[in-house]
Every structure is written in structure tokens, then in C-alpha cells.
Amino acid sequence: MTPAEQLPCEIGRALLTLRRRRASTHDVGERDALAQTIDALEQQLTGLAAADELAAAAALPDAQEALERALAAVRRGPFDGYLRALEAHFDDFAAIAAALHAPPPAMPDRAPAATAPSAPVSLSAASPAPGAQPSGLTSPKGLPPPARATDFASLQDEYATWYAACVVRPECRKELAYCVKRLHDGQAIYEEVGTQLTIPWLFVGITHGMECSFNFRCHMHNGDPLKGRTVNVPSGRPTSCEPPFTWAQSATDALIYMGYHEVSDWSPTHMLYLFERYNGMGYRRRGVPTPYLWSFSNLYEKGKFVADGRYDAQAVSRQCGAALLLQALIG
């Protein structure tokens, strides 16, 4: 079953949980809140009848937010497993989000905390020399294809040129506006983590959106559930405390793991580099724009790692790229 097909099923299961809770609660306020949440999810379920991946990617954050509202409405017992059921739904939604936005297999390129933030990432022996361009590629909007270099000094001008040329696609404006709203909604939480590490809140927030679809129940390392250590790359994080983890504990560990607490250059071009390093440089080895930065913009059309080690040249990312989010926040 594809992630797009899984989402309607999981929404249906969540609706059963919420309906049971609405029938059992004696709190009028909670009952009204649940009625609104149930109505919102039923509308989403109707819109997902075609099981389209684009519709699923757009609906998933709304479904997660609806469950957050249901959780916030809880005032008193009896719970009878209700809270555990909600937690299971959150975990299932997080797994679907991870499948919809599967990271490329270049994740091992992530540097450990001891590595200097701007250090080059080594290419395999089979890769072309850094800076070499693959043949037969169509440059987006007349720009040269992405360089195969992976160090900031070699890529700085490219980032500046692409960022200046980056414009949101008209059909994606609504999705971009929604993501910006989610960033502002979480700003206070992002500032708490960012201030501790001297990292701009918007970088923390955009990374959270890219890795977790703004779900505060997921590890910012890779979107795994917070109830245990990370399973996907990088696995076994955090190492300094015991699960279950708070989101702030996980986010702090993820940023330190990448060495970003040692960064002093927070210019737009360097942030683009740090975003791309966070996800991995695997797209550059194919000479294609990474959707992690450029999705939903005029600079990205298609090409995506749909599973570990499997690149699909025809697949299209359904996630707003970090460059557009950065533009929306700082211009």
C-alpha cells in the first residue's frame, strides 16, 4: 500500500477513536471540539478518495493539526486508552510523512558534530571530479546544472544565483502560505532551541518542517517518533538522555550532531548550504536540483529519491522546498 493509500485508512481509524471519545466524554467543551475535528477529518477523507500523492502530502499536516486540537481539548477522564490511541495515530501519521518525503540515500554524508560545518564531503571514487558537469542535462531557466562539488566555497555563487532566480509556482502559493503559518505558530518553540545554540529560529523551524512536516512528536534528525531513539539514519539518537524525549531535546541533539551550533555564518546562501547538507548531497551526484531546496519553485520540475537507493527521474516532490520558506521569512 502506498503512503497516499495509507493516509485515508489512518484518518478513518483516527475518526473511529475520536467518535468513541465524543460518545463517552461528559465535557461539553471537549465534545464540541471533537465534533469540529471529526467534521474536518471527514472532509479530508472525502478529498482523498482518489488516493493521489499530491493530495495526501497537502492533507497530512492538516490531519496532524486536527489531532493536536483533539489532544488539546482533553480535560478529564475517563480515558480508557484514548490518549494511547491518539499517540498511535500521531506515530502512524509521522510514518506516512516520512514515506511521502523519503530522504535520499546520501544521508551518510552528514558530518558528525566534530566535523567543521563547512568541511567538504568526500565523493566516492566512482564520482566525477568536483565541479564537473554531467552531459545531456537541461539547465532550469538557463542556469547551469548543480555543481558536483560539496563544499560551500565552491557552491556559494551557485546558491546566490539560484536563490535570486527562485520564484514560487502559482499553483503552490497556498501550500507555501500554510507552511509559513506553521513556522510562525511554532516560532516561540524554535526560538527556545535556537537561542540556546545561537542558531536563528527560522533555520530551526524550516528544518523541522522539512524533516517532520512541523510535527512536534517527531525527531528532527529524520522524522522518527520521539517515544524512542531514532531508527533511521542517523540511528540511536539522542545518546545523552533516555526516551521518551521532548522535542527540544531531540532538536538540540540533531543540530549539535550536525555541528550547526558552531556555525557563525547565517547568511541566506550559507543557510541553503546547511539545509542541503542536512538532507545530503546525493542529488548533486546526479546533476539535478535537490527538491529539499527548490521544490514548489520554478527551478524544480521532477526527480526524487523515492526510497533508499532508488531514484525516480519522473517522481515529483510534494513538499515545499527550504529556499522558498527562507525567502518568505527574510526575502
pLDDT tens digit sequence for 177-196: 999 999 999 999 999 999 99
Residue in the structure block whose three cell numbers are 541533539: 253
Kindly state the helix (H) or strand (E) to which residue 15 belongs, with its residue range: helix 3-24
With 0-12 / 13-18 / 19 or more C-beta atoms within 10 angstroms meaning exposed / middle / buried, residue 321 is buried
Yes or no: say if 59 and 5 are a contact pair by the CB < 8 Å rule: no
Top pLDDT among 91 and 299 is at 299
85, 116: one domain: no
Range of the domain at 239: 107-330
Question: Counting every residue, how long is the chain?
Answer: 331
Q: C-alpha distances in angstroms, 303 versus 282, 283, 307, 310?
A: 12, 9, 12, 11
- Name the range with the highest mean pLDDT among 69-73, 201-205, 286-290: 201-205
**171 lies in the same domain as 305:** yes
- Which pLDDT score, from 0 to 100, does residue 66 have? 80
Rounded Cα distance between 199 and 204, Å, is 7
Pick 296 or 232 by higher pLDDT.
Answer: 296
Q: Is the pLDDT of residue 67 over 90?
A: no
Shared domain for 179 and 306, answered yes or no, is: yes
CB 226 within 8 A of CB 245: yes
pLDDT digits (tens, 9 = 90+) for 130-181: 333 333 334 566 788 899 999 999 999 999 999 999 999 999 999 999 999 9
Task: Give the model's pLDDT for residue 245.
Answer: 94
Q: Which of 100, 133, 149 finishes a domain?
A: 100
Which of 157-166, 290-299, 306-315 is predicted least confidently? Answer: 306-315
Q: Which amino acid is at 265?
A: D
Looking at the structure, tell me whether residues 190 and 267 fall in a common domain. yes
Helices and strands in the chain, H and E counts: 12, 2
C-alpha neighbours within 13 Å on the C-beta side of residue 260: 31
The reply to whether 320 and 243 lie within a common domain is: yes
Per-position b or e across 14-39, b if 16+ CB within 10 A of its CB: bbebbeebbeebeeeebeebbeebbe
Residues 23 and 141 in one domain: no
Contact 220, 186 (CB under 8 A): no
User: What is the pLDDT averaged over residues 79-108?
Assistant: 66
Q: Rounded distance, CA 41 to CA 10, Å?
A: 11
Beta bridge partners of 168: 297
Instruction: For residues 72 and 116, state if they share a domain.
Output: no
Residue identified by cell 528544518 is: 207
Distance CA 58, CA 44 (A): 10
DSSP-derived letter for residue 305 is: E
Which of 70, 100, 130 is at the close of a domain? 100
CA-based angle 189:72:217, to the nearest 5?
50
* CA neighbor of 319 nearest in space, from 118, 98, 51, 121: 98
**Long-range contacts of the stretch 306-311 (C-beta < 8 A, 24+):** 306/102, 307/102, 308/102, 308/105, 309/105, 311/104, 311/286
Secondary structure of residue 221 in the 3-state scheme = coil
pLDDT at 327: 97
Q: What is the number of domains present in the chain?
A: 2
- pLDDT-based confidence at 31, cuts 50/70/90? confident
Q: Is the confidence at residue 321, as pLDDT, over 80? A: yes
Task: Please tell me whether residues 141 and 45 are part of one structural domain.
Answer: no
Which pLDDT belongs to residue 75? 64
**Mean local confidence (pLDDT), 230-244:** 90
pLDDT band at 54 (very low <50, low <70, confident <90, very high): low
Would the pLDDT of 91 be above 60?
yes
H-run or E-run covering 32: helix 28-47
Return mean pLDDT, the chain. 81
**In this structure, are 255 and 270 located in the same domain?**
yes
Confidence band, pLDDT 50/70/90 cuts, at residue 47:
confident
pLDDT top residue among 98 and 331? 331
**What letter represents residue 37's amino acid?**
T
Q: Is the backbone of residue 111 left (phi > 0), alpha (psi -120 to 50) or beta?
A: beta
Q: Are residues 14 and 144 in the same domain?
A: no
Give the CB-side neighbour count of residue 158, counting CA atoms within 13 A.
24
Of 78, 100, 122, the last residue of a domain is: 100
Query: Picking from 73-77, 202-206, 260-264, 303-307, which range would have the lowest pLDDT averaged per residue?
Result: 73-77
**CA dist 173 → 183, 214, 317 (Å):** 15, 18, 15
Q: Is the pLDDT of residue 109 over 60?
A: no
- Return d(Cα 266, Cα 40) in angstroms, integer: 39
Residues 144 and 284 in one domain: yes
3-state SS class at 10: helix
Q: Are 30 and 118 members of one domain?
A: no
Q: How far is 64 from 116, CA to CA, in rounded Å?
A: 36
* Residue 27 contacts residue 292 (beta carbons within 8 Å): no
Residue 102 has pLDDT above 60, yes or no: no
For the question of whether the overall pTM of this predicted structure is more than 0.85, the answer is no
